[in-house]
A and B are shown apart, each in its own frame.
Chain A
């Protein structure tokens, strides 16, 4: 029997029928997982799989194994196996979301970015946690963190560790040129110009300017420095733009034009920006707290010559010290077979014992407010930890499930400002209209 038009059509129709049937199978009412039992803790022995990435300790070990050991002292009949997550956040999201949409029971607990909860909750990939913890449970964490982890009134992940943005500077160069640590972006530009004129550094400031989520984090900070935001409190109206938007993007465009910010920054992610700084070419670096471990590592060419400060503000602006709220949290897989044990483990990682262990043995910033603002933290040798309490956290508007499209509108447009292709005003207008489309579900 040869392949004919009729046999092709029959096959296609058969497959279409099966596909329709498969789609309809999932058409029942979408009920959340039953958490009543989970609220009472683990029900007997269990083996959990924890999707996470390696977390270096000061001693060169992996914090994850230490945390699991501490957890098992309390719950000896629960085993926790590590599943190594991909190092790239977006790939981790791709793999997880595909598995969870199809109802995979593992991983039981997964580490996710604080930018995910809105989207993951909307798409039923995460478990709502209010039923399993006391009402005032979330007050132990910074309000901004809990807002980021919430969607429509419920919290969808346990806080784990924080990532905050800081200004790293070459203390040796500033001292040599008798320059104070800048408190405003105008001073940053001036300092950069002076040091560059004197041949002390190739470039002034490096940051994450490539067309990806990291640029949106930078933009959110600069806009906050200028007194603005991206969306209103409900996440339904665009507030990106106006004077604050113009000032933020105007400064970035001017810095790129004058060479304070290298044109290459339009291709930089965290790694490239850090490389440019540790390579000795840049005077300032905007990056996340964990980068302290990199610039201060024994093999870092700039070790001992770097200082850390909270990010500057704009002259006459509302405040300095804004830092984007980053970091990671632990989600509970709604399809997991051991919800009680999974909740117990994710919760353990968010609480005092685990958080204190993290603060003492690694460079990760604890999420618990009491530890972040403790005397022990302020006296820490790790400057990012000592300064953590001073940072004004800037959350991204992640509560909208359309956040990835909102972010895409920002980073694709601002990226073209950094490479000098678009004027700030045009980029702002385009981004505003694309964000509005995204919120209305009209964007691609």
Chain B
């Protein structure tokens, strides 16, 4: 089963059914009967997915090519046009949001990856209290972003925030963290890294425990130091899980909305305005439905393109991971 084929829950289910059928080499009639049963079982889920995912996505794409205006009788298309896209591509606000979102994604995902691997390696070596630490570590990840963003907002508050107070100990004039672009972007990235590093750590830890002991021992026998062993033994074995963690994180970071919406509202100026925040403003503050749809469609296409590219680059790793998972299941 190829990872590329699993673009949705329903697709995964049918593909899996197909794989099972192929695996047993059942006679043709039986295979068709099984396929029909498979479709019957998945039909309710398919209808729900179609109604709440496929339809809205396609509808957004359609109205992104229109000048739409609400009337007392519902949305009315006044004109089919490319104007939403031409305005958007020419707009400095969109370009700024794109640069911010891409830069923010690259930096936060890179830092989370390094920290996540470090934490996972540390946890794996722990003999005691690993379970407790893991549970503690998961607290930031389990907090709803709106809540954690509010908490960081208190910490960064320019009047009574703990972080402001801390800087005040060293600096005569502590920075107004959320009021100045660079500190605001950094502050937001810190809040994000704090929350999502545990996610990366847990995924990497799952990969780490699957690295056979013998490989470490062999490396040791060959005289490799800790770093060499990590670089040449552990890291290559971790590549598949790292690829999956990066994929998930890039998808999430690219669509970041709740953190800037609560923490900075896209400010100061437009310094932390992500593509998703821009799209939201266009849709729900300006009530410009065509433009909002264009911003979200373009973002969707960008994310899709990045992920396809990423999957192509890391295909062998991701496939290996899926393969490993299935082998493990088979063994069980």
- B83-122 residues at the A interface, CB under 8 angstroms: 87-88, 91, 93-94
- A25-47 residues at the B interface, CB under 8 angstroms: 25-33
B287 near A119: Cβ-Cβ < 8 Å = yes
For residue A24, CB closer than 8 A to chain B, the reply is: yes
For residue A146, CB closer than 8 A to chain B, the reply is: no
Instruction: Please name all residues of chain B whose beta carbon is closer than 8 Å to the beta carbon of A419 when the two chains form the complex.
Output: 176, 179-180, 268-269
For chain A, the bracket of interface size reads: 35 or more
Instruction: Please name all residues of chain A whose beta carbon is closer than 8 Å to the beta carbon of B291 when the two chains form the complex.
Output: 444
- Are A267 and B158 CB-contacts (below 8 A) given A19-B62, A90-B285, A415-B268? yes
B176 near A264: Cβ-Cβ < 8 Å = yes
B62 near A30: Cβ-Cβ < 8 Å = no
A93 near B285: Cβ-Cβ < 8 Å = yes
**Best-buried of A2, A97, A418, A419 by chain B (most CB within 10 Å):** A2
Instruction: Please name all residues of chain B whose beta carbon is closer than 8 Å to the beta carbon of A18 when the two chains form the complex.
Output: 55, 58
For A22, give its contact among B11, B59, B268, B287 (CB under 8 Å): B59
* B307 CB to nearest chain A CB (Å): 16
For residue A276, CB closer than 8 A to chain B, the reply is: yes
For residue B299, CB closer than 8 A to chain A, the reply is: no
The distance in angstroms between the C-alpha atoms of A334 and B72, with both chains bound, is 7
For chain B, the bracket of interface size reads: 35 or more
Question: Closest residue of chain B to A13, judged by CB?
Answer: B58
The distance in angstroms between the C-alpha atoms of A416 and B159, with both chains bound, is 19
A281 near B62: Cβ-Cβ < 8 Å = no
A97 near B284: Cβ-Cβ < 8 Å = yes
Question: Closest residue of chain A to B16, judged by CB?
Answer: A2
- Are A123 and B157 CB-contacts (below 8 A) given A3-B15, A211-B269, A263-B176? no
The distance in angstroms between the C-alpha atoms of A18 and B158, with both chains bound, is 51
Instruction: Please name all residues of chain B whose beta carbon is closer than 8 Å to the beta carbon of A12 when the two chains form the complex.
Output: 54, 58
A27 near B76: Cβ-Cβ < 8 Å = yes
For residue B281, CB closer than 8 A to chain A, the reply is: yes
The distance in angstroms between the C-alpha atoms of A125 and B281, with both chains bound, is 18
Question: Closest residue of chain A to B74, judged by CB?
Answer: A26
* B279 CB to nearest chain A CB (Å): 10
B285 near A211: Cβ-Cβ < 8 Å = no
For residue A251, CB closer than 8 A to chain B, the reply is: no
For residue A101, CB closer than 8 A to chain B, the reply is: yes
Instruction: Please name all residues of chain B whose beta carbon is closer than 8 Å to the beta carbon of A26 when the two chains form the complex.
Output: 71, 73-76
For B270, give its contact among A11, A20, A211 (CB under 8 Å): A211
The distance in angstroms between the C-alpha atoms of A407 and B225, with both chains bound, is 61
The distance in angstroms between the C-alpha atoms of A443 and B90, with both chains bound, is 9
* A158 CB to nearest chain B CB (Å): 19
Instruction: Please name all residues of chain B whose beta carbon is closer than 8 Å to the beta carbon of A275 when the two chains form the complex.
Output: 159-160
The distance in angstroms between the C-alpha atoms of A402 and B282, with both chains bound, is 11
- Are A267 and B178 CB-contacts (below 8 A) given A31-B73, A276-B159? yes
In the complex, per-residue mask of B42-80: 1 if CB is within 8 Å of any chain A CB, else 0? 000000001000110111011100101111111111000
For residue B267, CB closer than 8 A to chain A, the reply is: yes
B63 near A267: Cβ-Cβ < 8 Å = no
For residue A231, CB closer than 8 A to chain B, the reply is: no
* B19 CB to nearest chain A CB (Å): 9
In the complex, per-residue mask of B160-193: 1 if CB is within 8 Å of any chain A CB, else 0? 1000000000000000101111000000000000
Instruction: Please name all residues of chain B whose beta carbon is closer than 8 Å to the beta carbon of A317 when the two chains form the complex.
Output: none
Instruction: Please name all residues of chain A whose beta carbon is closer than 8 Å to the beta carbon of B278 when the two chains form the complex.
Output: 444
A23 near B75: Cβ-Cβ < 8 Å = yes
For residue B212, CB closer than 8 A to chain A, the reply is: no
For B72, give its contact among A15, A33, A276 (CB under 8 Å): A33
The distance in angstroms between the C-alpha atoms of A210 and B270, with both chains bound, is 11
For residue A130, CB closer than 8 A to chain B, the reply is: no
For residue B295, CB closer than 8 A to chain A, the reply is: yes
The distance in angstroms between the C-alpha atoms of A402 and B268, with both chains bound, is 22
11 additional contacts, CB 8 Å, given A123-B69, A267-B179, A415-B269? Answer: A2-B14, A11-B50, A18-B55, A19-B63, A23-B63, A25-B74, A29-B71, A264-B176, A404-B285, A405-B286, A419-B179
B residues adjacent to A (C-beta < 8 A): 5, 7, 11, 14-15, 18, 35, 39, 50, 54-55, 57-59, 61-63, 66, 68-77, 87-88, 91, 93-94, 157-160, 176, 178-181, 265-270, 278, 281-282, 284-287, 289, 291, 295
- 14 A-B pairs within 8 Å (CB atoms) are namely A3-B14, A12-B54, A19-B55, A23-B62, A23-B68, A30-B71, A90-B285, A101-B74, A125-B70, A267-B179, A415-B269, A419-B268, A421-B269, A442-B87
